[in-house]
Amino acid sequence: MIQKKILDCNKRLSGKIKHVRIIKEEEVIIMNFSKYIKHCALIIVFCTFFTTGTISANNAPAQTKTAVSQTQTAAIKAAPLAVVISPKNYLNKNIIMNAKFDKFSTLGLDYKPAYKSSEDYISFLIKRDDTTFNIPLSEMKLFLKRDKAEKYIDLKTNDEIEIQGIVFSDALGDAWVDVKELKITKKAPDEDKK
């Protein structure tokens, strides 16, 4: 009888010991998991801290975005129509395009979502290269500082130009480009000399 009671006690004790071991293992797993969560949180905090410049650049006004983006990326060669078709793909990127000049304009100036002041900038249009007709690519807003634009006052329709700039907005689904450099690659023949 005593042996039976001892056996019963041993069985209960071994069951409790197993139960205690399982609880201890669960506590160890929970402690390891909480350490893992703490490490992940620290990594996220450090990543946020080190990328603060990029995060604040995304929330900054368009002109600040331009300055940050220009220093971070090299220029990408792009076709004007490709930029117009998907301006989001080129957003905040430094691009180089070749096109034919159409005319200076005021298109897009002083528009709040993609603001460029008409006092400081002039816009210009380039020609569409997907047609033989004389149609400007009005879906692309190109802005040039007025002091730089004065150097190109003699630009004529059909002059071939190289544009380097940063797509600073995709407002209205259009490409809005802050032109940093403009080069005349080929002058158009004079129409008077026919």
- pLDDT of 108-125, one tens digit each? 999 999 999 999 999 999
CATH number of 62-186: 2.40.50.140
Q: Per the confidence metrics, is the pTM higher than 0.85? A: no
- Predicted pLDDT at 160: 96
Instruction: Tell me the average pLDDT of the chain.
Output: 79
- Predicted pLDDT at 71: 46
- Predicted pLDDT at 74: 87
Distance CA 118, CA 174 (A): 19
- Predicted pLDDT at 22: 57
- pLDDT of 74-105, one tens digit each? 899 999 999 999 999 999 999 999 999 999 99
SS percent in the chain: helix, strand, coil, step 5: 45, 25, 25
Mean pLDDT of 145-171: 94
Mean pLDDT of 150-154: 91
Q: How far is CA 177 from CA 2, 91, 165, in A?
A: 94, 9, 6
Q: Report domain extents, the chain.
A: 2-50, 62-186
- Predicted pLDDT at 69: 44
The residue that leads in pLDDT, 44 or 143, is 143
**Sign of the C-alpha dihedral computed for residues 10, 11, 13 and 17 taken in this order:** positive
**Cβ pair 120, 145 in contact under 8 A:** yes
- Predicted pLDDT at 56: 39
Residue 15: half-sphere exposure toward Cβ, Cα within 13 Å: 6
Mean pLDDT of 122-132: 93
